[in-house]
Amino acid sequence: MNNNYDVIVIGAGNGGLAAAAYCAKAGLKTLLLEKHNLPGGSASSFVRGRFEFEPSLHELFGVGLPDNPTDYAKMFMELGANVDWRSHNSTYRLIVPAEADDPEGFVGENGVRVKVDASMPVGFEAFSRKLDSLVPGSYEPAMKVFRLSTLMYEAFDMLTSGKINPVKLLTKYGDVFKMAGHTVKECLDELGMPEKAQGIFTAYWCYMGAPPMRFDMLYYMSMMHGYVERGASMPHLRSHEMSCAMDKAIRDNGGEIRYNSEVTKVLMKDGKPCGVVINGSTEVYGRYFICNVHPGFALPDLFAPGEVPEDANKKVNGRPIAASLVTVYLGMNRTKEQLGFHDYSIFIAPTSDSDRQFHLSQGKMGADFVIINCMNEAIPDCSPEGTSILFLTGICYGDVMQGVKPQDYKKLKTKIADEMITRCEQTLGLTIKPYIEEIEIGLPPTFSRYLNTPNGTPYGYQLDLWDSMLPRTIQYEKDQPFDNFYFCGASQERGDGYGCAYYSGQKAAGLVIKQFTEGK
């Protein structure tokens, strides 16, 4: 068995898979190590009864047609990782329930009294028109955002092409760069978008775990642009199809993958990593290392005291941990039509104010804010005939398990799941509980066990104006603990999201390939 490699990738999550695929494609002798028995991390699946559940992927913004793919669709194509993409021509539906005596309340689509019931369409013009029909005076501000986001992508293309025209950057794209360093809230206020419309427009805040008052506008625009322009997409066989496609691409390009192989220590020589120990016994050696383990666990667990530079430890400990999730997976013995579902993604919120939603999610798990997805709406054959799959997701911040005793854990899971399901039934005017055939409940400890992250967060570190995509991009290489050891995954530049994780692996691989080519 080989024990010397050009690059060793630790962890086969989305970032690690992309990193290994690019390194192998570039001809580097590549070894990918994963402690689990299958690839993907969050991008996998599990079976309960006759249902195969998607653990985490809500949706990707549309991959586009073969002749006009998005960047991450191009990534799969250039790596030879074949995925059967399915698209859904929608963005989201936001519902805010109303009390019986609320003067803003009205009877919504499902016959339930609500303050907001906004089903938002695909397409910049259609989305803006719909927003204006809900909140008059919001059409032009919304269209301004989409015009700016279109210019933003043009500017990014110029910057990454290497053919930079400074005059054009200042004249044509000046307004785009003026937004750098400003929050979503600040920019939408400046563009004149009404408050209520802002709440609907910023409903995607939960996908990155950062509220409008703390999230930078350029990053939010990039996500919003993708979803509204192209709609939502999913692999036909869910996210595990993507992971298996990456696995095959790595092997097809000569890379090696070892599952059930946990890296328990990083070996050092002359103050730099030189190898790893697998499962506490087997040593393998490498020249470069890419790590898809959360830095907050990797640095203290894989290195001996004093081996990691003090500055690197300070950076890891100085960043707050991002959100955790609560997810309820439901295998239903009725079709989506019989249950009354015709939306893919529904956000149920106690208020349309996104910043308030974020505040209410601090320090507790519960049913205040729930995302409900009907998988069959996007992939009709994802469950056996006559059935459907729902999954409900809540977001929470902080150590929400503090004080929970082991003997009370199962009772707590059941209580939270019941509250979330009840919230959906009451808000949507539908009946769910009698038709549940299979149920699984994931709390932060569940995700911590499978993802090996603090508090079970899939989001890495909390995105904030001072620590968002732009500053993280500028600091990326300086933030790495060694010049031959790079992190990838949700803890890095772009935070949570499948596309973000794949990008992080691509970037880390690119830096390793560059160093290898230059003989460094």
Domain map (residue ranges) of the chain: 4-60+70-79+238-320+461-518, 91-120+324-396+402-442, 123-230
Mean pLDDT value across the chain: 93
pLDDT given for residue 411 in this prediction:
96
Q: How confident is the model at residue 470 (pLDDT cuts 50, 70, 90)?
A: confident
Residue 292: what residue type?
N
CATH placement of domain 4-60+70-79+238-320+461-518: 3.50.50.60
pLDDT given for residue 8 in this prediction:
98
Tell me the C-alpha to C-alpha distance, in Å, between residue 94 and each of 160, 234, 349: 36, 21, 7
pLDDT at 138 over 80: yes
Q: Are 26 and 255 in contact (CB under 8 A)?
A: no
pLDDT given for residue 65 in this prediction:
62
Q: How confident is the model at residue 248 (pLDDT cuts 50, 70, 90)?
A: very high
β-sheet with 232-235: strand ranges across: 60-61, 232-235, 85-88
pLDDT given for residue 130 in this prediction:
98
CATH placement of domain 91-120+324-396+402-442: 3.90.660
pLDDT given for residue 1 in this prediction:
56
Tens digit of pLDDT for each residue in 370-389? 999 999 999 999 999 999 99
Tens digit of pLDDT for each residue in 83-93? 999 888 889 99
Strands 345-348 and 370-374: antiparallel
Q: Mean pLDDT lowest for which of 94-98, 159-163, 340-344, 444-448? A: 159-163
Q: How far apart are CA 512 and CA 74, in angstroms?
A: 21
Q: Mean pLDDT lowest for which of 12-16, 70-74, 413-417, 485-489? A: 70-74
Q: How confident is the model at residue 170 (pLDDT cuts 50, 70, 90)?
A: confident
DSSP state of 467: B
Give me the residue label for tokens 């303050």: 115
Q: In this structure, what token pair is assigned to residue 470?
A: 């732009």
pTM of the model: 0.94
Tens digit of pLDDT for each residue in 80-127? 999 999 888 889 999 999 988 888 899 988 889 999 999 999 999 999
Share of the chain above pLDDT 70, in %: 99
Q: Are 100 and 420 in contact (CB under 8 A)?
A: no
